Amino acid sequence: MTENIEVSSTAASRRIEDLLMRIEGEFLDVPGLRLTVSQAQRHFGVDEITCEAILDALADAGVLFKTADRVYGRFFPRLAAA
């Protein structure tokens, strides 16, 4: 029984990792892409909680930005003047 739980947990982790990479890739491929959680949920075909968690993780990692209205887009850091 424990083995089944570990396999299931590993499979779930892999699906989330694949989804995270897919969402990140979409924002990197389409630099002007701006999506709300609801739009991203429909676009990627995932539930709201999972979608927002992944978008927030990408924002925390500095890949995306998040506005006060919960709109996400690709983060472009400004180059520091030399």
**Across 58-71, average pLDDT:** 95
pLDDT of residue 80: 47
**Contact residues for 52 (Cβ-Cβ < 8 A; gap 6+):** 37, 70
> How much is the average pLDDT of 64-71?
95
- Given the candidates 1.10.3720.10, 3.40.630.30, 3.40.50.720, 1.10.10.10, the CATH classification of the domain at 2-74 is 1.10.10.10
CB 19 within 8 A of CB 50: yes
Please state, for a pLDDT cut of 90, what percent of the chain lies above it. 71
pLDDT band at 76 (very low <50, low <70, confident <90, very high): confident
**pTM, to two decimals:** 0.81
Q: Where are the domains of the chain?
A: 2-74
